[in-house]
Structures are given as structure tokens and as C-alpha cells.
Amino acid sequence: MKKLIERTPETFREKQNIDAHVHHEVIEVDLPGRRVHIEDMQNNRSRWEAFDRLLIATGSSPILPPVSGADAKGIYGLSTLESGLKVRRVVDETSPRRAVIIGGGYIGLEMAEALILRKLEVSLVERAPQVMNTLDPDMGKLVSDALMNVGVTLYREESLEGFEAKNGRVSGVVTDKRTLPADLVILGMGVKPNSNLAEQAGIPLGFKNSIKVDQRMQTDVEGVWAAGDCAQCYHLVRKQPFYIALGTVANKMGRIAGLNIGGETAEFPGVVGTAVSKICDVEVARSGLMEKEARELELDYTAQTIETSTRAGYYPDSGPITVKMLGEKGTGRLLGAQIVGKEGAAKRIDVIATALHAGMAVDEMIHLDLSYAPPYAPVWDPILIAARVLVKKL
């Protein structure tokens, strides 16, 4: 029998052959006893239940540093469907005027877009010199510019120090440089894996406190599995364990865990670090390694950046696109790329992702038979142009 213990009903869709318990939560795992302690949140009761196989899919939680005033109402992290619905309800019902977003990553970018479209005054506080720390700063600057172009007030190199509140509701965001008035605060400082339950049970953790799993998604404990934002994965370019809290990766991990738990044998080879986002009409994408990562790994690399257009220059709605590509000197191996540009820019990262999976060299990429027609690309696709420029420096 399959039993699902799920705290939030909003993220649950009815499935056949599953004994689902929403508003329930596993609060303890007893590994030697092969049983879990389940809390019934609606009836305030708890019970122990035995398991043969256990899948931990506890997800991740928004990071909030220990600052003053964080318990005020009106401060929201976004990590579940439930949390997204809550913020929308708050905007609908309380009509906040001034929103402050803390952090310029994917959540920050997407919430900035959503709140700008809802006509709020949006400020964004970013600790680093540029938003999007999954891009190199030169590419991040293009995203910073895009945020400002759509009306977001950007405060860079400023750190969150705390919150001010009136009558228990947030009224301001205190940084190391100023206090920003706020009716609504969005936390976009990243997420951390919800690995406490596993850790307390004695299940070993791995990269950045995510649950250590093998390629079959099994933890170091036989019969106990983990998948999704709570678990680590393997990075095929870094060639080491990694943590990446993205829906597409979580979904792949869940499938692999499910196949293995069901008796099949399936392995998840790993990720190459692909991610994509947008702020209004500016698209952002990355895959593989950025310069900071290549330096950390002590790789001898070169990076080149090109600017061209998303479509044939004469075609309507052709827009600028910037591609930065990294390759390893000596081997010539493709290491990664970052893309910022107008419509049609971002999905080009999938070519990079595929080439990274295949371990392609940059000089193989310059001949890729990528599609061309004036509505879709210049005769030389931006990826090919970047590869051609990069290959000369390798």
C-alpha cells in the first residue's frame, strides 16, 4: 500500500491507488523501528506507522537570516503553491502599495515582474553588486538594467538588517544603508533543503545540508529514499555532488525514486545547472559553469561574450541577445553559457545543456546544424556565433 503524508492540501492532486493524508506531517523517523511518527494537524493527534520503504520529499524552505522584526505579518517566502496563492490573496485583498523584494534571484525576478504588472511600487534589495548571482556580474548587470527599465527601484550592495512593523504588520525594511517603507515584503534569498527530519533520524546529509542520495535516489540507509528540493544531485560538469532547488530537477528525481521504490532500476545521471527566468520582456538563462564556479574548480578556462540579434536583423521583433560562453583551455571542452536577451533568447540554453550532457568541445559546436529561418534566428544562430568567437581563444 502506498501512503502519502502531506501537510499542505494545495500542493496535492488526487491520485489513484494512494492513501493520502493531507494536513498530516511526519515529525520523526525511527530508523531501527522502521516506523514514522505522524502528526494529524487538524485533530491535534499523533500516531506511529510502520514502513517498508520511505521516501522523504520534504522540499525546501525560503532562507530568512536571523534579523529583528521577521515575525511581522506581511513578509512572505515563496516556495510552495500555497505560499504563492497566499501572496496573491494578500495583493487582491489588502491592495499594498509598496513592495520590497529581498534578493534578486529567480524568485525575486519573477515576483518583481508579477508585482510591477499589479501596479505596485517595487523595490529590490540585493546584497551583491548585481542581481542574479547564478550569472557572472557582467551578465547580471544586464538583468539589473532590465529590472530598472520596467520600473523596479534597485538597491545593490545593500544587506538586510531587519524589519520595522506597525501593529504587528511590516512597515519597513531596514538595510545597512537605509530604511525602505514597505506594505509587503517578499523573501527571495534562496532556499535551504528541509533535511532536519532526515538529519534527526541519523540519515547522512550531503552537499549544503541536502540529503545525501545515490543516483537511484536512495539515502545511505537501505530502503529510505529522498528526492526533490530536500535531496542532493550530481553535477555532470562539476563532476561532484551539487544542490539545485528547481522544479524540473525535483520532478526528474521524483520519477527516478518512484521507479526504484516500485522495483525497477533507474538512475538519474545528474544535472548541468540549467535555469531560466525572465523579467517582463527580458529573458535570462544559464547552464553549466559561470566564471566564479570555473575559478573555484581551478579550471583553466576562457570566457567570451557576443551580442547579436534573436532573429534575422530585418525581421519584425528582432531583439538584442547577449551570449557569454565558457570553454576549458587545452581540452577545448564547453563549460557553460549564460544568455540575456529579448523574446526567443532563453530557450537557446537548451542547446548548451544538451552539448554539456554530451561533453562536447566548443570546436564541435561551431558546426551544429541549428535551425535557421528569419523569424527564428540570424543565419548564424547566436550560440554558433559565441562558439566561433570562443574557439579562437581556446
What does the binding site for a second copy look like in residue numbers (CB under 8 A)?
106, 110, 236, 246-249, 251-252, 268-278, 285, 287, 344, 346-351, 353-358, 360, 364, 367-373, 375-377, 379-381, 383
Closer to a second copy at the Cβ: 69 or 190?
190
Report, in Å, the least distance between residue 360 CB and a second copy: 6
Residue placing its CB nearer to a second copy in the complex, 50 or 314: 314
Within the chain, residue ranges assigned H as helices are: 81-94, 106-117, 137-149, 196-201, 247-261, 291-296, 349-357, 362-365, 382-391
What are the strands, taking DSSP E only, across 134-289?
A: 153-156, 160-166, 169-175, 179-181, 184-187, 191-193, 224-226, 233-235, 240-242, 275-279, 282-288
Beta bridge partners of 205: 211
We find the least distance from the C-beta atom of residue 379 to a second copy, in angstroms, to be 5
Residues paired with 193 in a beta bridge: 60
Tell the smallest beta-carbon distance from residue 299 to a second copy (Å). 19
DSSP character string of 316-384 = TT--EEEEEEEEETTT-BEEEEEEEESTTSGGGHHHHHHHHHTT-BHHHHTT------TTT--SS-HHH
* Minimum CB–partner distance for residue 308 and a second copy (Å): 14
Nearer to a second copy among residue 3 and residue 89 (C-beta):
89
CB of 256 to a second copy, least distance (A): 9
Q: Which DSSP helix (H) or strand (E) runs through 28?
A: strand 24-30
Residue 138 or 343: the one with the smaller Cβ distance to a second copy is: 343
- Angle CA(141)–CA(330)–CA(357) in degrees, nearest 5? 65
Residue 69: CB minimum distance to a second copy, A: 32
Q: Judged by CB, which is closer to a second copy: 39, or 229?
A: 229
Q: Are 181 and 170 in contact (CB under 8 A)?
A: no
Q: Cell 543565419: give the residue.
A: 379
CB of 99 to a second copy, least distance (A): 20
Kindly tell me which of 76 and 268 has the beta carbon lying closer to a second copy: 268
Q: What DSSP element (H or E) covers 301?
A: strand 301-309
For a second copy, the closer CB: 12 or 376 = 376
CA atoms within 13 A on the CB side of 55: 22
CB 383 → a second copy: shortest distance, Å? 8
> How near is the Cβ of 347 to a second copy at its closest, in Å?
6
- Cβ proximity to a second copy, 302 vs 310, nearer residue: 310
Please name the amino acid found at residue 30.
D
Cell of 222: 537501505
- Identify the bridge partners of residue 340 per DSSP, sorted by sequence position: 284, 322
Please, which residue, 193 or 270, has the CB nearer to a second copy? Answer: 270
State which residue, 96 or 188, has the beta carbon closest to a second copy. 188
Instruction: Report the SS3 class of residue 90.
Output: helix
We find the least distance from the C-beta atom of residue 1 to a second copy, in angstroms, to be 26
Nine-digit cell at 196? 532536519
Q: Which residue has the cell 501537510?
A: 7
Compute the distance between CA of residue 248 and CA of residue 134 in angstroms, rounded to an integer: 17
Inter-helix orientation angle 106-117/137-149, to 10°: 10
